[in-house]
Chain A
Amino acid sequence: MLSVKGIRLITVVTYWIAILLGPLVPWASLILTDVAVRHVPLAQTLHDFRAHLFAPGYNLFLIGILNTVPFLAFALLALFHLGMSPLEDSVRTRHRFAGIAGAGLAITAVSIWIHVTILLHPDAQGAIAYLFLPVVLLVLLPVGYVVGRLIGILLVQVNTA
């Protein structure tokens, strides 16, 4: 059983990690793909990343911002939904936590998968995926939440039984 301080910490950490994950997922995917798949030295990859961050035609900063939109929505959901959860109703708090975890895992996994796929199979139309990705993740957010919450309800029932 988590203490009040623990739940509070999880809520705030989830909120800030979600904000950081927004730009970090595309940027880290790019750097790690270059290093692990294309065997580019890390120093060279970081140098290229810095040079292309705002460069027209690359716009890695803009890609990071686009990816941040659904993560920002998730961060606000975590802050308000988890933060406004009644402390006296621990079951409901756990259900909410499971829903938030489901939504977070779903959007992070799909975001990483799409970014890595674009990088591994570069295509002239790849930029279109960057535009649609925020929409896909925003749609996935409630789906992930519902799935996570259902799993949470089931786990609570199993534990109670």
Chain B
Amino acid sequence: MRVLTKEQISLNLVGLAMCMALAAWWYWQSTGVQAVPALIEQLHDPDPSTRIVAADWLGDIGPKATAAVPSLLVLATKDSVQHANTTAAAALRHIDLAAARLVMAHYVPFLNVGDIQSRRTAGAVIGELGPVAKPAVPSLIALMHDPDELVRRNVLAALGNIGIPAGEVSNALFAGLRDPSALVRQAAATQLAFAVPLPRERVDEITAMLDQQDAAVSGLLRNALEKTRQGDAARVETFVLMIGQSTGREYALHQLARLGPTAIAAAPILITVLQDDRPMHRYLAVEALSAIGAGGGQTIVALTPLRHDPDPIVRESATDALAAIDSRSPALHNGARESPRVKP
């Protein structure tokens, strides 16, 4: 005779299986799109850290969290805690590009108000919107001579995060390297070291600057120079591989949009991304193709249907890209419009 009978052991095992099923159901109910209603409630929590965690989580869920857009808009524009504003803005860029643009439109006027804190917050929030805040670039550049160094630092960080148009952004960052404040110079150097590709024609200028900067900024600039040693073709190849992986896709697309014409080899894969489910990916693919320039008739053929994309920001971007390509090579554009649509 044993301590437990076979039936008693089986009963306990069934109990364990039920507990595991209950835990799995609890996990399923509390994550992904199922978590959205509870997270929307948490966006109204009196505790700021709860609101911030909820906003961040909704951003991770992405376009399926559309129901949270109104609450996130309130958090991004009305909350008294800057970290809540920036987190909500960052979440919106992953959920709804048009809502992200509304946040940008809300904060751009604050870049020119007398209150310093409002200008600092506006710069920080616009930066968190990333490439979708491209139309705010001229307003941010205009603020580069603000008397407050934190405003200037936030502006440079924002320009680095937005990253496009690459020419304007890198010019602004180079100007930032000559700022009287070490904090601002460091912000500019950080962007060049980690986010914004260093144009080859600027390499000599940066090398000459190394001895004039303090140790921290020089270290960052050396890092930026180190990146240029890898050829453009190799970098483009790396980003093309990253596009194939869902986790690094947005970063790779953003980098290709920043690289401009040197990323021409990525055009075929960018054309396939124009069919991506995520509006942000389609938007970045359009921006990258636009920055590359006329990538052939196939690019125009692939961009044309995006003038009717469900997302208004993608539509606008595609229309602008087609106009830009048209202005550069009108004959090619007209030829492509007349050609039958080919599946990319």
Which of the residues A19, A57, A65, A82 comes within 8 Å of B3, measured between beta carbons?
Answer: A82
Contact A7:B60 (CB < 8 A) given known A47-B47, A48-B49, A80-B9: no
Which residues 170-190 in B have Cβ within 8 Å of A in the complex? none
Contact A47:B50 (CB < 8 A) given known A19-B16, A54-B31, A57-B56: yes
Which residues 78-95 in A have Cβ within 8 Å of B in the complex? 79-80, 82-88, 93
Q: Is the CB of B30 within 8 A of A61?
A: yes
B54 interface hit (Cβ, 8 Å) = yes
Assembled-state Cα–Cα distance A135/B230 (Å):
40
B23 interface hit (Cβ, 8 Å) = yes
Which residues of chain A have C-beta atoms less than 8 A from B35's C-beta? 54
Assembled-state Cα–Cα distance A80/B50 (Å):
44
A11 interface hit (Cβ, 8 Å) = yes
Which residues of chain B have C-beta atoms less than 8 A from A58's C-beta? 53
Q: How many residues of A contact B (CB 8 A)?
A: 33
Assembled-state Cα–Cα distance A140/B247 (Å):
36
Interface range, B side: 20 to 34
Name the CB-closest residue of A to B4.
A83
Q: Is the CB of A84 within 8 A of B4?
A: yes
Name the CB-closest residue of B to A75.
B16
- Main secondary structure, interface of B, reads helix
A15 interface hit (Cβ, 8 Å) = yes
Q: Is the CB of B1 within 8 A of A52?
A: no
A53 interface hit (Cβ, 8 Å) = yes
Q: Is the CB of B56 within 8 A of A51?
A: no
Q: Is the CB of B30 within 8 A of A54?
A: yes
Which of the residues B12, B31, B42 comes within 8 Å of A15, measured between beta carbons?
Answer: B12
Assembled-state Cα–Cα distance A8/B3 (Å):
6
Name the CB-closest residue of A to B15.
A16
Contact A87:B1 (CB < 8 A) given known A19-B19, A54-B27, A80-B9: yes
Which of the residues A44, A75, A79 comes within 8 Å of B4, measured between beta carbons?
Answer: A79
Which residues of chain B have C-beta atoms less than 8 A from A61's C-beta? 27, 30
Assembled-state Cα–Cα distance A14/B54 (Å):
38
Assembled-state Cα–Cα distance A86/B1 (Å):
6
Which residues of chain B have C-beta atoms less than 8 A from A8's C-beta? 3-4, 8
| Closest CB in chain A relative to B30 CB, distance in Å | 4
As a 0/1 sequence over residues 30 to 65 of chain B, the CB contacts with chain A under 8 angstroms (1 = contact) are 110001000000100101011001101100100000
Q: Is the CB of A84 within 8 A of B31?
A: no
Which residues of chain B have C-beta atoms less than 8 A from A138's C-beta? none
| Closest CB in chain A relative to B47 CB, distance in Å | 7
Which residues of chain B have C-beta atoms less than 8 A from A47's C-beta? 47, 50
As a 0/1 sequence over residues 41 to 63 of chain A, the CB contacts with chain B under 8 angstroms (1 = contact) are 00010011001111111100100
* 4 closest A-B pairs by CB: A83-B4, A54-B30, A51-B50, A87-B1
Q: Which residues of B contact A (CB under 8 A)?
A: 1-4, 8-9, 12-13, 15-16, 19, 23, 27, 30-31, 35, 42, 45, 47, 49-50, 53-54, 56-57, 60
